[in-house]
Amino acid sequence: MCPRTGKKLSPQVPPPDASQPTMMRTPIAPAKKRVWDDLVGTVISGRYVVESVLGQGGMGTVFQALHTDLDRPVAIKVLNPQQAAKTSSVQRFHNEARSSGAIGHPNICEVYDLGTLPSGSPFLVMEYITGETLAARVGREKGLPVLDAIDILAGVLAGLSAAHAKSIVHRDIKPENIMLITTPRPGVKILDFGVSKMLGPDPYGEGEDVLSLTRTGMVMGTPYYMSAEQARGDRDLDARVDVYACGVMLYEALAGKRPYTAPNYNALLLQIVGKPPTPLRQLVPTVPERLEAIVVRAMERDRNVRYQSAAEFRAELLAFREEIAPKAKSPPRERTVPADLAHEANRERALAESRNAQRSETTHRGLLEAAETFSGTVEGVSETERPPPTEKSAEVPASKKRREAMDFDDAPTQVYRPDAPPPGLPPLPPMAPRMPSRPPEGVAPRPPRPPPLPSQ
């Protein structure tokens, strides 16, 4: 008998202790199957084999897959079923595919394909990237070296310059959306153009021609990188909101912390609008003054004082980088010649010197023989009687000997002059006087020329 209700109890169930409070027992619901459990191991669109889960968030899940036709890895982002039921989320998803595909820049993650699963959830097929986010590296290192921070921001600004040239504003630049890739070569990739906006007529027909803080997706995520005009709710926003966000990222990359922190959303917006951040050099004294000035200008609350474009911001950073780390000219490499080749080169050089010397001696002999034949007055000198050429003095360096032997400009002056023959050879004899020519027989001689007329 139950002491509380008076009902008869089953003998298998022990009666409850009246001294203990009665507890309401709620049946435990079975564990809800995760959305990605059904996708791993399946094939999407007949060519993407889903292999594993890369990450999962409130908006969707990212999978690693293999493109079977091209045999290369890809990343597939699938919108969660709860978000797929919202028109605004689906629009944001399609906007990411359109924006990334329209830009086509090495510093922006490329989107290859767009589709819808049988469950109704849309998906994006994107470039597979190996690396880590800028947020992960800054969190691990608590601040980056100056050159590393500049190089990363220069890559981000290059991608944004290409986007702005196509009238696309990202609107959600933050370290979590910057991937530092490691393969095939180190670089930077900008992710998630889902909340980007095409400047100009509204593609969704919502009656807006400019950016607005209240637009879909703008309040998603953290507002730490919002510009002052975004925090105020201004509606005439432009590409300079991305410039401001990059200035905040550079500040955080150097200092290891964000310039503004607050306990709630509204307090953070008030700081962004009306409070200057802590000076960067006060947190990191090793930061150069000019770099601090660049960060301050990029984070100006007045967008007319701020850098007017991502390209201008990037040019200022790269000019500063050249000052602190100019590209050193690589020293000339020493030409290392194997021993056998060096020996062969020396042998060829010696043969060339020997040929030059023989050529000088042969030329002088030829002149001697020609003079002997012409004048008939030179006494013959046989080769056996001619003394061998004497060697030059040992004081003359060998390098000078080689230069003299190879100096063909001076060779005619030293060799062909009769008064300066090579050592050991006699000088050329004087040329016979030229005989006056006589007219042939029977021809009268030419009359002498008349004397010149006297000058008046």
**Nearest Cα to Cα of residue 193 among 76, 98, 55:** 98
For residues 422 and 80, give the distance between their C-alpha atoms in angstroms, rounded to a whole number.
100
Same domain as 277, residue 136: yes
Q: What is the pLDDT of residue 56?
A: 79
Q: What is the pLDDT of residue 170?
A: 84
Same domain as 285, residue 227: yes
Q: Is the CB of residue 40 less than 8 Å from the CB of residue 28?
A: no
Task: Kindly state the percentage of the chain with pLDDT values over 70.
Answer: 61
Residue 204 pLDDT > 50: no
User: Highest-confidence range of 188-202, 284-298, 390-404, by mean pLDDT?
Assistant: 284-298
Q: What is the pLDDT of residue 321?
A: 93
Per-residue pLDDT band for 317 (boundaries 50, 70, 90) equals very high
Is position 238 within any domain?
yes
Same domain as 202, residue 182: yes
Average pLDDT over residues 381-395: 53
Residue 114 pLDDT > 80: yes
Which residue range(s) make up the domain with 62?
Answer: 43-127
Same domain as 155, residue 99: no
Same domain as 285, residue 194: yes
Residue 236 pLDDT > 70: yes
The predicted-structure confidence for 41-72, as pLDDT tens digits, reads as follows 889 888 999 998 888 777 788 899 999 988 89
Q: What tokens appear for 303 in the block?
A: 């967008």
Q: What is the pLDDT of residue 307?
A: 95
Same domain as 303, residue 319: yes
Same domain as 177, residue 83: no
Query: Exposure string (b/e) for 15-41, b if CB count within 10 Å is 16 or more?
Result: eeeeeeeeeeeeeeeeeeeebbeebee
Is position 147 within any domain?
yes
User: What is the count of structural domains for the chain?
Assistant: 2
Q: What tokens appear for 380 in the block?
A: 């013959």
Q: Is 172 a catalytic residue?
A: yes
Same domain as 158, residue 106: no
Is position 115 within any domain?
yes
Give the Cβ contact number of residue 401 at 10 Å. Answer: 14
The predicted-structure confidence for 254-307, as pLDDT tens digits, reads as follows 999 999 988 888 889 999 998 899 999 999 999 999 999 999 999 999 999 999
Per-residue pLDDT band for 333 (boundaries 50, 70, 90) equals very low
Q: Rounded to two decimals, what is the model's pTM? A: 0.60
Same domain as 292, residue 143: yes
Q: Which of 191-205, 223-237, 273-287 is least confident?
A: 191-205
Catalytic residue among 69, 71, 113, 172: 172
> CA geometry: angle at 335 spanning 331 and 337, to 5°?
160
Same domain as 285, residue 153: yes
Q: 198: domain CATH number? A: 1.10.510.10
Asked which of 281, 301, 324 is the last residue of a domain, the reply is 324
Residue 248 pLDDT > 50: yes
Average pLDDT over residues 113-133: 88
Averaged pLDDT score across all residues of the chain: 75
Asked which of 78, 108, 127 is the last residue of a domain, the reply is 127
Is position 343 within any domain?
no
Task: Kindly state the percentage of the chain with pLDDT values over 90.
Answer: 27
Q: 54: domain CATH number? A: 3.30.200.20
Q: What is the pLDDT of residue 381?
A: 46
Same domain as 117, residue 220: no
Q: What is the pLDDT of residue 337?
A: 46
Q: What is the pLDDT of residue 309?
A: 94
Q: Using CA of residue 44, residue 52, residue 152, residue 226, what is the dihedral sign?
A: positive
Q: What is the pLDDT of residue 97?
A: 74
Same domain as 155, residue 100: no
Asked which of 103, 127, 151 is the last residue of a domain, the reply is 127
